[in-house]
């Protein structure tokens, strides 16, 4: 959530929506730890009556988005899994920049994708990184060292 907050503050996204999406994006992991956790999380969020814009963050946060042709090949329902709103992209990208409780840079995140045989998704993540950096007016990698994952929120004055 801290990474997503920092990006949202910098580029003018809805802080409340990003915060909620960052907290709930892995809701589906209660059912599966596989690629379907986005689908399962979105289903559960709808059952709970959560707003559709939040449901879509949960549905689209997996990897760097999943295009329709890959979704079919992965056995996912024929839905849109590509983050399109600013808030969807922020939560998706922040998820890729946190690894085992540590903030990592975009190149390290890219190498994680490549190491899993997902170079195309890694390229998509780098494109998202560049787009979000442009929206923020600063390379997001430059923001990462100042983010404290366990301590002070960059938004605590807004709470």
Under the banding of pLDDT at 50, 70 and 90, the label for residue 139 is very high
Average pLDDT value for residue range 103-115? 95
Q: Is the pLDDT of residue 157 over 60?
A: no
Query: Does 63 or 158 have the greater pLDDT score?
Result: 63
CA–CA distance, 155 with 2 (Å, rounded to integer): 9
pLDDT at 159: 38
pLDDT at 156: 44
Closest C-alpha among 127, 134, 55, 50 to residue 96: 127
Whole-structure pTM over 0.85, yes or no?
yes
Q: Is the pLDDT of residue 154 over 70?
A: no
pLDDT at 158: 43
Q: Is the pLDDT of residue 24 over 80?
A: yes
Count of structural domains, the chain: 1
CA–CA distance, 149 with 131 (Å, rounded to integer): 23
Q: Is the pLDDT of residue 17 over 70?
A: yes
Under the banding of pLDDT at 50, 70 and 90, the label for residue 151 is low
CATH of the domain at 106: 1.10.3210
Under the banding of pLDDT at 50, 70 and 90, the label for residue 9 is very high
Instruction: List, in sequence order, every residue forming a beta bridge with 81; answer none if it has no partner.
Output: 66
Q: Is the pLDDT of residue 153 over 70?
A: no
Q: What are the backbone angles phi and psi of residue 104, rounded to the nearest 5°?
A: -120, 165
pLDDT at 55: 98
CA–CA distance, 117 with 114 (Å, rounded to integer): 5
Least confident segment among 47-51, 67-71, 118-122, 139-143: 67-71
* Cα–chain center distance at 123: 15
Average pLDDT value for residue range 105-119? 95
The range of the structural domain enclosing residue 40 comes to: 2-158
């Amino acid at each position: 959530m801290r990474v997503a907050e920092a990006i949202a503050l910098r580029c003018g996204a809805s802080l409340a929506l990003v915060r909620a999406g960052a907290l709930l994006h892995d809701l589906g992991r209660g059912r599966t730890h596989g690629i379907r956790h986005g689908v399962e999380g979105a289903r559960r969020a709808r059952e709970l009556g959560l707003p559709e814009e939040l449901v879509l963050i949960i549905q689209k946060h997996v990897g760097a988005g999943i295009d329709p042709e890959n979704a079919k090949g992965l056995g996912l329902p024929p839905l849109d899994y590509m983050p399109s709103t600013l808030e969807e992209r922020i939560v998706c990208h922040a998820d890729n920049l946190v690894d085992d409780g540590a903030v990592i840079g975009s190149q390290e995140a890219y190498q994680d994708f490549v190491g899993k045989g997902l170079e195309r998704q890694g390229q998509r993540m780098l494109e998202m990184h560049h787009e979000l950096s442009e929206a923020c007016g600063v390379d997001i990698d430059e923001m990462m060292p100042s983010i404290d994952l366990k301590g002070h929120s960059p938004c605590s004055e807004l709470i």
